[in-house]
Amino acid sequence: MNTRRHTKLVHEGDYVAEVDTVLIEEEGGWSPYLSLEEATKLDKVRDALRRGDLLEAKRHARVYRLVPVAA
């Protein structure tokens, strides 16, 4: 079993969060995949962004606010 670091993006409303995760790679099957802890971390960030709790989201990720660009 090998692991590698990967950054996942979580988008909710006007915010996007960069969440550092670890992917597990194995021979065959459903590889690569997230551990239960990593999937739970993504869910916590998504739920915090939905509630507007940016401090909670920032505990697990880098949070950015999206601003529309008038072109």
* pLDDT (tens digit per residue) in 44-63: 999 999 999 999 999 999 99
- Those residues with Cβ within 8 angstroms of residue 1's Cβ, 6 or more apart along the chain or in another chain: 24, 25, 26
Report how far residue 1's alpha carbon sits from residue 54's, in angstroms, rounded to the nearest whole number. 35
Q: Which residue has the tokens 């909710």?
A: 12
Question: Going by C-beta distance under 8 Å and a sequence separation of 6 or more, which residues neighbour residue 20?
Answer: 5, 6, 7, 61
The answer as to whether 32 is a domain residue is yes
Which pLDDT belongs to residue 31? 86
- Is residue 58 assigned to a domain? yes
Is residue 11, in this structure, part of any structural domain at all? Answer: yes
- Picking from 9-13, 17-21, 28-32, 34-38, which range would have the lowest pLDDT averaged per residue? 28-32
Residue 9's domain spans which residues? 2-65
70 lies in some domain: no
Q: How far apart are the first and last CA of the chain?
A: 47
**71 band by pLDDT with thresholds 50, 70 and 90:** confident
The rounded percent of the chain whose pLDDT value lies above 70 is 100
